[in-house]
Structure 1
Amino acid sequence: MSIVPVPARRFNKARIWSVVAATAIAVVWGGASVADEESKIIKSHGYSFYGDLTYPADYPHFDYVNPEAPKGGEISISTLGTFDSMNPYSRKGRGGALSTMMYESLLGEGIGNEAAPADVYGEYYCLLCESIEYPESKDWVIFNMRPEARFSTGEPVTAHDIAFSHNLLLDEGLQSYAEAVRKRIPKVEVIDDYTIKFYFTEGISRRSLIDQVGFVPAWSKKWYEETGARLDESRLEASPGSGAYMIEDVDVNRRISYKRNPDYWGKDLPFNVGRGNFDRIRVEYFGDENSAFEAFKSGEYTYRNEGNSKQWATAYDFPKVQDGYVVKEEIADGSPPTPSGMIFNLGREVLQDKRVREAVALAFNFEWTNESLQYGLFKQRGSFSQGTPRMAIGLPEEDELAFLEGLGDVVAPEMLTQEVRMPHSSGAARLLDRRNARAASKLLDDAGWIVGDDGKRRNAAGEPLKLTFLLNSSGSATLSAVVENYMSNLTSFGVEAVLERVDASQYTARERDRDYDMIYDQYPAILGVGTGFNQYFGSEAASFSLFNPAGLASPMVDAIIEKALAAQSIEEEAAAVKALDRALRHEFIMIPVWYNDVHWTAYYDQYDHPEAQPAYALGYLDFWWYDEEKAQKLRAAGALR
């Protein structure tokens, strides 16, 4: 399992199913909000763009949690690689696993950056705030904070801390984040100790504004001023947070443990009922996947998300599984799959020719890979909105077609007349699909990369066609095998294919500097519209955004994003998302690979989870719980120390 800290805020997925468009702001949706008839000010216990909230103001707890879940025990997990910092918000250093979990925000989210609530999309509920107020125009928002909120030091969390945190991210945070936010949020005003107001720029989309400021981590202004610490520095000392957990112990490159704050101010809030149930969360570090798996078998840690298909298919037959001490369970995953794949660095001149990208993509044989290396357990992914009603299909029609036609000449003509790009198919019988090899050869010939007498492709200047694939040496052995076989096929095409395996720290540094031709990475699933699109897909931040590993800079995509952000209805948003999915697939920034629609979990039989699992979060750190009676049986049997 790999845990990646989110630098600023989680770009929450937009809710697309079971969502009702608000036809008038003054309408009360299930008790979600009330509007003043004269001033059109909405006051609510939460926020969604269209004004609908599933949970009323007096909700006792989220529907999927066990409100009687016992508190106690430990859950221990693993991650691969190294870390040298407990400050994950800086480009410098490699942040420790879960090192954002101490920090809360005005609007709440799940432990480990999962969704909360986890049974709905695009709905956000107050945590550090009691209520929010905003006009129908969404020109500003006021957060009325909870006076009882406290940092782990006992100091109150005030509006001054929120304003400080917002400005700290702008002054010392990631460049792409700061540049995007400054344009949209020109002013923040502390009205009093527990009331803060954010103003939004006129004439821009109101998407992702209220939730943007609502998810700024709350940091202690007093701590930063007294210590002189900076957000952009690598350091092991972490600022105090207000969350349910706090750092207990840090052993660099070996383990991190977090303990539940016994004085946590928010433990009785409805938002937290049935959640944050473990006394301790421990993360063990390992240098490679094999040692991590062996450690799980021996009981060095107790919960594992399996990502290796070979291990899931063949390695979970060890005695503790056979004896029932370790549970092997598949749990449905309701979230659309993460768009991961082999990503092209479009900053490399050789890869700016789409014919080259299309040719080298044909070297990937999904069917053979799935059958020969992954035990037939995966499905082929093609879309950034895979499996959702907002996935582009066939030719653009109706609302999507009108959306694209309304953009004018910036849209590639073939996007209107040709079916959406789908992944190529290959034969599963052998690694090299000869039909695809012939097609790739023609594409490369047409692009000016001709095969010489030595079997190598060169351009008119005699330069070889060389591609370097960057791979994290501590990652999955199966992924390594997939890439090795892909590179083998590239070599047969006449490409000088170089696989560079580097350790975790080098990988992080080179990934940030975009020092690669190709890399295995990911983009977000596209479910709804948000201004985060500009950091992921927009031209303005393309040269430096950490969230855009391809460096995509497309006037067509920019135009789609701009128009998408102006969508004012569910129908307009759906058309915009389909158009964006279609455009990204047309630009062809990655070779899509595979996806899995279930979570592969394995854990020592001392944990329980709700029978009604929510669709959009697994929640093993968030709303699972520890069973002391089961744990005693494991210890008595010698299955755990």
Structure 2
Amino acid sequence: MRGLLYLLLLWACVPSWAGHAYAQFGDVKYPGTFHHFDYVNPDAPKGGELVLVSPTRLSSFDKYNPFTLKGNAAPGLSGLVFETLLTGTLDEPTTAYGLLAEDVSVSSDKRSVTFRLRAQARFNNGDPVLASDVKYSFDKLTSKEAAPQFRTLYAEVIGAKVIDLSTVRFDFARANPELPLIVGNLPVFSQKWGMKEGVSQPLDKIVTDLPIGSGPYKIGRVVFGRDISYDRDPHYWARDVNVRRGLFNFDRITYRLYKDNTAQLEGFKAGEFDFIQSFVAREWARAYTGKSFNSGQLIKRELKHGNAGDFQGFLFNTRLPKFQDVRVREAIGLAMDFEWMNRQLFYNAYQRVRGYFVASDFEATGLPDAAELALLTPLRAQLAPEVFSAPVPMPPRTEIDPASGQSLRDHLRQAKALLAQAGWTYREGALRNAQGEPFTLEFLDNSGAMGRVVTPFAKNLEKLGFVVNYKVIDFAVLQKRLDVFDFEIISNRNVGSESPGTELMERFGSKAAGTEGSGNFMGIQDSAVDALLEKVISSKTRPQLITAVRALDRVLRHGHYAVPHWYGGVHRVAWRNGRFEQPAVTPRYYQPEAWAVSTWWATRDNQATLAAETRGQP
């Protein structure tokens, strides 16, 4: 098999895969004989506990199934309980190595990929992981029983076919070098999960049945809706496999959920949990202080990383008529005074988000170059002339800028003119359309953290005549409203990617715009955007991918679908001292929680504490 793959490698003239791994672009870093990843300690001791909070806005949970639309799944399930055919690394952006699968091979026409499963792979009930389980998982996730984003993600996968007990093949609608990575990341679960009297239940009817996965942890103690613990499986099948050696070292991982940021931070200071990431600069500067930090009981660090910048912004729901005119959306964006916010609220901790792929190779700049024009010119009739004639839009600076000589007042005048062109003028104390209806704006939030940002933004918008309402609701209610696109403006963050691809169809594609539960919150339905998305996912080399994503970024930014927020170049993290140790090597691409959960290990005191607690249990 490896010899055949080597010949195909030469035939394709692109170093894209090896028997033990698959790489979308470039070389595979680790050879088939590698012992462990460079960023782990292969001899890390097992034991102890890590207590966390959810890194998302989740304030409660009501199910153990992370694959369906309704409800909120407990945090940690996907990464701790379920596993995939391949696993990515924290030092390569577009390469994955065999986890459940020991061998991966791509056909010469690149229209299919075949995986051979490891003989020792087991679910947590002791059953072997079979090719039929892989097919079952794929069929369930692409059915209407699962959340709709899976159907978008696997849209170009024709189907899965069982070749024998341990071999499964995925067939593709077309050659796409990202597809082997996409199906390699398929979460696999047992056909017995949710089975009642020997009969499989629909996936969306599996709610609180304990998952049957193959991951290193099982669900342990639960305070349903509030806290959940995962206990390390002592019989975990992959504990000595190279892609898992030195990983998942804690005997117990617990998540505690809190109703708001204030309660969460006070809980951390009180020792209720061990590790937290801060997303609010003001809190980081003013609230992560006190005796516990001064004494060293709590450690506070800004950790460097090589990740692409995250996109964050206020998103418009363009399904609503009042947001369908691009001039209106641009005008609203002109009212944000980021420079004032950065000085007064953020302690100058941030830079302004410029586009959807900030601080990466994929960010559009200036005018389109020749490579971008080759993609954009066939779409000229569908695009605004400015896409070709004007530099890519940059968020306006709202202090007097020597380069432009403009201030916030100038930008508000420009916004007023744009609104007038769109049919909105100030009269009778408000901004009104031809029918006399006032222009109202509702910002939805679940935590209240955005209040201090919306307040100065609203004051500028009110100068233009907008009637602004800021509404705080529970996260569960917000999630339900997002699923059916029942909102006007929300704040949202997308984690940056070193290799954007098919997930962008879910975020910007026309089909996703009409699919409840999708990530296309902005409701973008644009044939030119769809055409560029096709170029992105069909890119065969990294230079092609860079050009396609830059062209996409350019078109989206000219569409003014969001008011860009801000980003930072470091992870702000705090943890309890004396309980953990870290590997000597910090990876390049990582999120703090996943890095801590997977590569850190407990000190002897930590291990002793959990051991004593366990002995005291009945």
Q: TM-score, normalised by structure 2?
A: 0.90
Whether the 8 Å contact between 2:443 and 2:471 is mirrored in structure 1 is: yes
Residues 1:612 and 2:585 aligned together:
yes
CA distance in 2, matches of 1:90, 1:400: 38
Give the Å deviation of 1:194.
Answer: 0.5
Q: 1:105 aligns with which of 74, 84, 90?
A: 84
The number of aligned residues is 591
1:372 maps to 344
Give the Å deviation of 1:539.
Answer: 1.1
2:598 maps to 622
Q: Which consecutive residues of structure 2, in runs of 5 or more, have no partner in the other structure?
A: 402-406, 612-618
2:274 maps to 302
Q: 1:564 to 1:66 in 2, by over 3 A?
A: same
Whether the 8 Å contact between 1:87 and 1:233 is mirrored in structure 2 is: no
Q: 1:249 to 1:237 in 2, by over 3 A?
A: farther
Give the Å deviation of 1:467.
Answer: 1.5
Please show how residues 414-433 of structure 1 align to structure 2 within 5 Å.
414-427=386-399, 433=408
Give the Å deviation of 1:179.
Answer: 5.4
Q: 1:589 to 1:609 in 2, by over 3 A?
A: same
1:588 maps to 560
Q: 1:70 aligns with which of 36, 45, 49?
A: 45
2:491 maps to 520
1:157 maps to 129
CA displacement, residues 45-96 of structure 1 (integer Å, 9 cap, x when unaligned): 1111236211111111111111122211111112351111121211111111
Q: Kindly provide the amino acid, as one letter, of the partner of residue 84 in structure 2.
A: S
Residues 1:208 and 2:178 aligned together:
yes
Residues 1:44 and 2:19 aligned together:
yes
Whether the 8 Å contact between 1:86 and 1:235 is mirrored in structure 2 is: yes
CA distance in 2, matches of 1:198, 1:591: 40
Whether the 8 Å contact between 2:82 and 2:215 is mirrored in structure 1 is: yes
Q: 1:534 aligns with which of 505, 512, 527?
A: 505
Whether the 8 Å contact between 1:32 and 1:54 is mirrored in structure 2 is: no
Name the Cα RMSD after superposition. Answer: 2.6
**3-state SS in 2 of match to 1:166:** helix
Q: 1:444 to 1:38 in 2, by over 3 A?
A: closer
Whether the 8 Å contact between 1:83 and 1:96 is mirrored in structure 2 is: yes
Residues 1:178 and 2:144 aligned together:
no
CA distance in 2, matches of 1:298, 1:266: 36
Q: Kindly provide the amino acid, as one letter, of the partner of residue 68 in structure 1.
A: D
Whether the 8 Å contact between 1:190 and 1:196 is mirrored in structure 2 is: yes
Whether the 8 Å contact between 2:375 and 2:551 is mirrored in structure 1 is: yes
CA displacement, residues 194-218 of structure 1 (integer Å, 9 cap, x when unaligned): 01111112xx341432122211111
Q: 1:135 to 1:632 in 2, by over 3 A?
A: closer
1:546 maps to 518
Q: 1:252 to 1:632 in 2, by over 3 A?
A: closer
Q: Which moves more between the two structures, 35-44 or 170-179?
A: 35-44
Whether the 8 Å contact between 2:191 and 2:200 is mirrored in structure 1 is: no
Whether the 8 Å contact between 1:83 and 1:95 is mirrored in structure 2 is: yes
Whether the 8 Å contact between 1:61 and 1:273 is mirrored in structure 2 is: yes
Q: TM-score, normalised by structure 1?
A: 0.87
Q: Kindly provide the amino acid, as one letter, of the partner of residue 133 in structure 2.
A: D
Q: 1:39 to 1:601 in 2, by over 3 A?
A: closer
Q: Kindly provide the amino acid, as one letter, of the partner of residue 231 in structure 1.
A: L
**3-state SS in 1 of match to 2:496:** coil
2:441 maps to 467
Please show how residues 172-251 of structure 1 align to structure 2 within 5 Å.
172-178=145-151, 181=154, 183-201=155-173, 204-225=174-195, 226=198, 228-233=200-205, 235-251=207-223
CA distance in 1, matches of 2:355, 2:112: 35
CA distance in 2, matches of 1:129, 1:410: 44
Q: Which consecutive residues of structure 1, in runs of 5 or more, have no partner in the other structure?
A: 1-25, 109-115, 636-641
Whether the 8 Å contact between 1:367 and 1:428 is mirrored in structure 2 is: no
Q: 1:487 to 1:252 in 2, by over 3 A?
A: farther
Q: 1:483 to 1:33 in 2, by over 3 A?
A: farther
1:435 maps to 410
**3-state SS in 2 of match to 1:439:** helix
Give the Å deviation of 1:512.
Answer: 1.0
Q: Kindly provide the amino acid, as one letter, of the partner of residue 543 in structure 1.
A: G
Whether the 8 Å contact between 2:48 and 2:609 is mirrored in structure 1 is: no
Give the Å deviation of 1:565.
Answer: 3.0
CA distance in 1, matches of 2:564, 2:8: 49
CA distance in 1, matches of 2:361, 2:288: 36
CA displacement, residues 359-388 of structure 1 (integer Å, 9 cap, x when unaligned): 111221111111111111111110222122
Q: 1:36 to 1:93 in 2, by over 3 A?
A: closer
CA displacement, residues 455-500 of structure 1 (integer Å, 9 cap, x when unaligned): 201111111111111111x35x3x2211232223222221111112
2:237 maps to 265
Q: Kindly provide the amino acid, as one letter, of the partner of residue 372 in structure 2.
A: E
Whether the 8 Å contact between 2:364 and 2:553 is mirrored in structure 1 is: yes
**3-state SS in 1 of match to 2:116:** strand
Please show how residues 376-455 of structure 1 align to structure 2 within 5 Å.
376-427=348-399, 433-453=408-428, 455=429
2:615 maps to none
